[in-house]
Amino acid sequence: MNQVTPYLSFRGNARDAMNFYHSVLGGELRIDTFDTVPAMMSSPQDKNLVLHSQLMIDDGPILMAADTPTHMPHSPAAGMSVSLSGDDQAEIERIWKAVSEGATVTMPLATPPWGGKFGMLVDKFGIPWMLSVIVPALAA
């Protein structure tokens, strides 16, 4: 089975971001730094940067991330959003409250014309999110 998983890029704060997402979403967090794979390290100053991380829930990654090495240009997230949806309104509202801490809310979590709940924000790490409560009739 194929799977699409967002792979987020950060400039030195991937560990902080992934620890935050782990605290909000739960699951198992795995983090490898550049010093664990010396062949991948182009500069000693990158040794503590995140080479690869993944947040696993139900035996599959839901988010992956890394730090951009210092010698490479870094482009902040653009043209994409992490989309999280579910049918448990209380859980989506809990996640919204946590992720919106320090975020820029671009559309408050509210009832859209199609029902349920929907909101958008850019979190404190610069990552755009869309959260929604699925209306059962629309999920079919």
Mean pLDDT of 106-131: 97
Task: Give per-residue pLDDT as tens, 33-70.
Answer: 999 887 777 788 889 999 999 999 987 889 999 999 98
Q: How many domains does the structure of the chain reveal?
A: 2
The predicted pLDDT at position 71 comes to 87
Q: Which domain holds residue 32?
A: 7-67
What value does the mean pLDDT of the chain take? 92
Final residue of a domain: which of 67, 93, 111?
Answer: 67
Residue 72 is assigned to a structural domain of this protein: no
55 lies in the same domain as 94 = no
Residue 1 domain-assigned? Answer: no
Residue 31, domain member (yes or no): yes
- pLDDT at position 139 is 53
Tell me whether residue 34 is exposed, middle or buried, using C-beta atoms within 10 angstroms of its C-beta: 0 to 12, 13 to 18, 19 or more.
buried
